[in-house]
Amino acid sequence: MNLEKLLQEYLTNSELMQLATVSKGQPWLCNVYFVADENNNIYWTSTRARRHSKEIIKDTRVAATIVHDSKNKQALQITGDAFEVPLPDMERVYNLYGKKFGMKASRLAEALENKPDGRAFYILKPTSISFWDEVNFPDNPKQVLGI
């Protein structure tokens, strides 16, 4: 089984990601709807007023998990760095997100306003990706994708 191909399947066919941030040694976990690009970068949108958004500004290191199929025990564990999507990339990310979820143009306009507590798009650039997949790897369900 090709792990890159499997990763694309997971990222394309899953919608919800649990995102972990940390501040002053205190972890925080939240749910975000996500989309990924062809380079396995993961994007979501949120307001800058949210706790996870504030914590990413102070410490870009994050962890995430994406449950692809809970009944069949298929999931991803990801670590990496997260930060706001730069304004020049905003429309491309908005279009990716809109293809998957359908979005109002007002969300892009709000993000482009760049207000301190307004909406922003975020990117997670993975530094490690592990699979837990009892369907494709029943004898050794933990698989690590080299990045």
pLDDT digits (tens, 9 = 90+) for 86-129: 989 999 999 998 889 887 777 778 888 888 889 999 999 999 99
The chain-wide mean pLDDT, for the chain, equals 93
Roughly what angle, to the nearest 10 degrees, separates helices 105-113 and 90-101?
Answer: 150
In the prediction, which pLDDT does 107 show? 79
In the prediction, which pLDDT does 1 show? 75
HSE (CB half, 13 Å, CA atoms) of 135?
Answer: 10
Distance in angstroms (rounded) separating the CA atoms of residues 120 and 115: 9
In the prediction, which pLDDT does 103 show? 75
pLDDT digits (tens, 9 = 90+) for 112-123: 888 888 999 999
- What three-state secondary structure class fits 111? helix
Of 61, 47, 58, 31, whose CA–CA distance to 122 is shortest? Answer: 47
- List of domains in the chain: 3-137 (2.30.110.10)
Of 3, 129, 145, whose CA–CA distance to 63 is shortest? Answer: 129
